[in-house]
Copies of this chain bind each other. A is one copy, B any other.
Amino acid sequence: MIYNFRNDYSEGAHPKIIQALTDSNLEQHDGYGEDKYSLAAAGKIRKELDCPQAEIHFVSGGTQANLLCVSSFLKPYESVIAAQTAHIEVHEAGAIEFTGHKINTYLGVNGKLSPKQIQDAVNFHYDEHMVVPRLVFLSNCTELGTVYTKTEFTDISDICKQNNLLLYIDGARLGTAIVSKSNDLTLSDIAKLADAFYIGGTKNGALIGEAVVITNPELKPYFRYNMKQKGALLAKGRIIGVQFNELFQNGLYYELATHANNMAMKLASGIDAAGYTFFAPPESNQIFPIFPEKLIEKLFKKFEFYIWSKYDKNNSVARLVCSWATKEEAVEAFLKSL
């Protein structure tokens, strides 16, 4: 049997979440996210963010969250600033453009945008023949598994405020960013520094669901209308509410992310010890070792993982992803196979 390090959504949900869904299953609740679980989950998240005024909405996936927020927040001629590796730029099949908005991209370092690039984007666009950059899109963790430090994040937030830009974070893997050993940001810091973001559930132990958080009061009105219009308002909205209510109870969200990171760090240490290097510094549950093609061929007999890119003639960049469900034996088996 082949073990899967391909992604962090190969299994279903953490058993506590399945249990919570089972326990609440036969209760009657209002639809469309107005049930008591969704309300309770939103309350817990607001508390975790230390941001009582945050508005929380639950949606089914990350692309949904991204296209919904961008199209809700921007006017037709406004654009998004993002890294060339950004998920919305490369891996969402043109979802942002379908809603009518351009993405202005800049080459990131380790998947990160810099304040200077953001300022350059603003400066480059100066008249009505051009779009108006209006929203900075970051992922944290980035697409390369790295995390923004509090300094980096604050600098970006500052440059945004100076230029009337909105700051939005794709938090598909926000859990593993927050518990990363390279991290010094809290969810509360993000709530203070960003205008909106989403806290990923699907990739951190939920069956399905992401929690969109809007802190900027100007972005709140009529958001549910936009959700409905994009097919993001679920009739049985409770099913995401129940899950986030569980995730933000007794620290489950952090616990699951910590396991994912621990397994990835164990993999990274072993790979490093075996003499291989990394395409980007291993900081969270996704790591990007550079492996010889021959080794990859051999590993593929027992493990599934994704080839990120060709590195040079004889080597490729692999992507190994751990999750809340990754088994330590599988990690050890992988390291033995090197």
Contact = CB atoms under 8 A, between A and B. Distances in A.
Given A77-B93, A79-B94, A129-B93, A231 B22 contact: no
Contact of A130 (B61, B93, B227, B235): B93
Nearest to A68: B231
Interface string A58-100: 0011111111100110011101000000000011111101111
B12 A128 contact: no
A255 B167 CA distance: 50
A128 B233 contact: yes
Interface residues of A, number: 75
Interface string A89-114: 01111110111111100000000000
B91 A129 contact: yes
Interface stretch (A13-21, A149-157, A266-274, A278-286): A13-21
B224 A236 contact: no
Interface in A167-203: 202-203
A71 B61 contact: no
Nearest to A31: B9
Contact of A128 (B66, B71, B93): B93
B236 A207 contact: yes
Contacts of A239: 12, 207-208
A-side interface mostly? loop
Interface string A197-229: 000001100011000000000000010111111
B231 A231 contact: yes
The 10 closest A-B pairs by CB, nearest first: A64-B231, A12-B25, A77-B225, A93-B228, A128-B224, A93-B229, A10-B28, A63-B231, A97-B102, A94-B102
Interface of A: 3-4, 6-7, 9-13, 15, 18, 21-22, 24-31, 60-68, 71-72, 75-77, 79, 90-95, 97-103, 128-132, 202-203, 207-208, 222, 224-236, 238-239, 325
